[in-house]
A and B are shown apart, each in its own frame.
Chain A
Amino acid sequence: MSSLTSSLPRADGAGARAARWGLYLILLLFAVWYLLPLVVMVSTSFKSLDEIRTGSLLSLPRDISTDAWSYAWTNACIGADCRGMAPYFLNSVIIVVPAVIISTLFGALNGYALTKWRFRGANLVFAMILFGSFLPSQVILLPMAQTLGFLGLAGTAGGLILVHVVYGLAFTTLFFRNYYVSIPDDLVKAATIDGAGFFQIFTKIMLPLSLPIMVVTIIWQFTQIWNDFLFGASFAAGGAQPVTVALNNLVNTTTGVKQYNVDMAAAMIAGLPTLVVYALAGKYFIRGLTAGSVKG
């Protein structure tokens, strides 16, 4: 990165300097523009209802209060159930963690088999899997509902995990396949001669080399599955609903005064995990997306 910026031509002369400052100004405006909704959400979530009524939308909270957050977490009514967001947050965790792990591992295994054990028709199989990543999610709603009913998984967390794994496999396979293409085939040949089998090569050589793409895949899958609303609303019943569906129900079913601070706090709760994942693994994300071959 640093080499990239340092190779840019230096700004020389007054005109160039003015252009450079103009550029920064425009970038700053865009940053403010995009950050504003987040600022409003965060500041509103720390205000009291009175302050929201009397103050302006953009003003910062006078007394910071976390009441709205704790109310949203434990007491807010989602439909008729007034236990707050907490149980639904847990639902999401129960769905997302296994779905991400399973879809990532199978994606890695698919990518490995498609690149290093090329069988007759491997390209066709890959093309069909690739096609899966272009399918709009609405298209699979009805067949998936039938499948879940047939398997007896309708309305359960297990059913939702299956849906996300199946739908996510197209993407995870694509990621790993494209990454493994750049790993030299000689490694697999050498390991074959050394006596390692299909799964030993996978676990002892390919997986340890996969950290960058694994982080990318995990972030991608985590974001997709955590933020999913359609599958959650379609395939999860009542108490098994994920946090996104709960947020919608919380915001849409208030009676009486609209508690904007609680709504904002609940929205922040629903959105925080993906932000945390990006903050922790973001640098690997960029690195993984641009990663080329493994020099070794």
Chain B
Amino acid sequence: MATLSINNVRKQYGSVEVLKGIDLSLNDGEFLVLLGPSGCGKSTLLNMIAGLETISAGEIRIDQRVINGVHPKDRDIAMVFQSYALYPNMTVARNIGFSLEMRGLSKAERDEAIGRVAKLLQIEHLLDRKPAQLSGGQRQRVAMGRALVRDPKIFLFDEPLSNLDAKLRVDMRTEIKKLHQRLGTTVVYVTHDQIEAMTLASRIAIMKEGVVQQFAPPQEVYERPANMYVASFIGSPTMNFIRGTLSAEGDRLGVSVTAKGPSESGPSRFLPLAEAPAEADRWLGEEVILGVRPEAITCYDPAIAAGNPALVRVSCRVSVLEPTGADTITYIQLGGQEVVARIKPSDRPVEGEPADFMIDMSRANLFDPRTEQRI
């Protein structure tokens, strides 16, 4: 149980700057997910928290204590590796108890702790086996057990589920979440999987090229992404980016979506915004990008639309339908641009025909097309 604060941390390899000033701060018991594509520096940051990489500049504190120069074993952290890094020559029991053995605990104390963890993870029947005799999921559990046995202040996870098959990954994800709820220990978890990040995190730090793009709770990251990079990284299918111009129609502000180029035709559409953006005057008449999640576009239903002014009715031609079972992913033409909508299978329109849709503009985001930042 501990707080973690990372203050302006940098990492350089020679002249290459991998981390460009990271600031993060975690409360006791939080579950932080570092999310980003490979090479964004998330694993480097985790290794620096663990003490496996030196810190070029800045400081990392655990419970207000600066740990920059502290040896990994004295940081009171435990780490689960992507490769599990189980010691192949030792039995499962000895793997789990190794850190206690290194700390000079007696055999009896070790056995007691190993038994407690094995019971928690339901791996009691595996204790005498060698790692090579275990399945992927079992190895994963043992790796968790090795981290749990020390009862550390902070757990560090380095893509722990990426070596598992799809089904097992989902099961283990839930189990990690349950475990965290039960133990309440602070966790830093590295992944490139946005679903893992959304499901597990109390806060997500999305990283790109050594810079944190947004540090916020999952729902906020999803609904109000800080920039177009974050918006496109999270969510599947990805957010629609619709080019348009911020304009006023009567007393309402909105985005005019115009077909561009000679091959595209279609009338200009005015999509009124639910709320005016900051500095609306400055943006009036300027080009903006309207970000709409696919599930914010649904089939038009007069009964629902009547009670909600944020729902804007549009008529679009349907180009392709992709049924996934739960939803039907529908590609529609909006002002000459292809837009993806997530439709209930019972509402499915006809391919090639126009149909009426409604866009929930209260869930829309505006971005600056030059800086790609949220307006």
Chain A residues close to B by CB (< 8 Å): 184, 186-187, 189-196, 200, 204-205, 208-209, 294-296
CA distance A247 to B82 in the complex (A): 58
Alpha-carbon gap, A286 to B159, bound state (A): 36
Q: Which of B28-47 contact A (CB under 8 A)?
A: 47
> Given B52, B78, B89, B98, which contacts A189 in the complex, CB threshold below 8 Å?
B52
Q: How far is A184 from B256 in the complex, measured between Cα atoms in Å?
A: 56
Residue of A nearest to B82 (CB): A186
Q: Determine how close the nearest CB of chain A comes to the CB of B86; give it in whole angstroms.
A: 6
Residue ranges of B at the interface with A (Cβ–Cβ < 8 Å): 47, 50-52, 72-73, 77-79, 81-89, 98-99, 102-103, 131-132, 146
Q: Are A296 and B86 in contact (CB under 8 A)?
A: yes
Query: CB distance A192 to B52 under 8 Å?
Result: yes
In contact, A190 and B79 (Cβ under 8 angstroms): yes
Once the chains are docked, how many angstroms separate the CA of A193 from the CA of B153?
13
Indicate if the CB atoms of A195 and B99 lie closer than 8 Å: yes
- Enumerate chain B residues within 8 angstroms of A196, measured Cβ to Cβ: 98, 102
Cβ–Cβ < 8 Å partners of B51 in chain A: 192-193
Contact of A186 among B81, B99, B146 (CB under 8 A): B81
B85 touches A186 (CB 8 A): yes
Nearest chain B residue, comparing its CB with the CB of A192: B72
Question: CB-nearest residue of chain B relative to A208?
Answer: B89
* Contact A190 to B73, CB < 8 A, known contacts A195-B99, A196-B102, A296-B132: no
Q: How far is the CA of A264 from the CA of B51 in the complex (A)?
A: 64
Q: In the assembly, what is the distance between CA of A186 and CA of B82, in Å?
A: 9
Known pairs A186-B85, A192-B52, A296-B132; A200 contacts B102 (CB<8 A): yes
Main secondary structure, interface of A, reads helix
Q: Which residue of chain B lies nearest to A210 when distances are taken between CB atoms in the complex? A: B89
Across the two chains, which residue of chain B brings its CB closest to A205? B87
Q: Are B88 and A191 in contact (CB under 8 A)?
A: no
Q: How far apart sit A140 and B75, CA to CA, in the bound complex (Å)?
A: 50
CA distance A189 to B79 in the complex (A): 9
| Residue from B73, B83, B86, B88 within 8 A of A192 (CB atoms) | B73
Question: 7 closest A-B pairs (Cβ-Cβ)?
Answer: A296-B88, A195-B102, A186-B85, A208-B89, A194-B99, A195-B73, A190-B85
* CB-based contact A189/B85 at 8 Å: yes
Question: Within 8 Å CB of B72, what residues of A?
Answer: 192-193
Question: Which chain A residue has the least Cβ–Cβ distance from B53?
Answer: A189
How far, in whole Å, are A205 and B78 apart by their CA atoms in the complex? 19
Q: Closest CB of chain A to B72's CB: distance in Å? A: 5
Indicate whether A184 sits within 8 Å of B83 (C-beta atoms), given known contacts A209-B88, A295-B132, A296-B132: yes
Contacts of A193 in B (CB 8 A): 50-52, 72-73, 77-79, 99
Select the residue from B47, B78, B88 with max chain A CB neighbours within 10 A. Answer: B88
A219 to chain B, nearest CB (A): 22
Contact sample, A vs B, 17 pairs, CB 8 Å cutoff: A184-B85, A186-B81, A186-B83, A186-B84, A186-B85, A190-B81, A192-B52, A192-B73, A193-B52, A193-B77, A194-B73, A194-B99, A194-B102, A195-B102, A204-B87, A209-B89, A295-B132
Instruction: Kindly state the separation between the CA atoms of A205 and B87 in the bound complex, as whole angstroms.
Output: 7
A195 touches B103 (CB 8 A): yes
B107 to chain A, nearest CB (A): 16
Shortest distance from the beta carbon of B151 to any chain A beta carbon, whole Å: 14
Beta-carbon contact of A187 and B52 below 8 Å: no
Residue of B52, B87, B146 ringed by the most chain A CB atoms within 10 A: B87
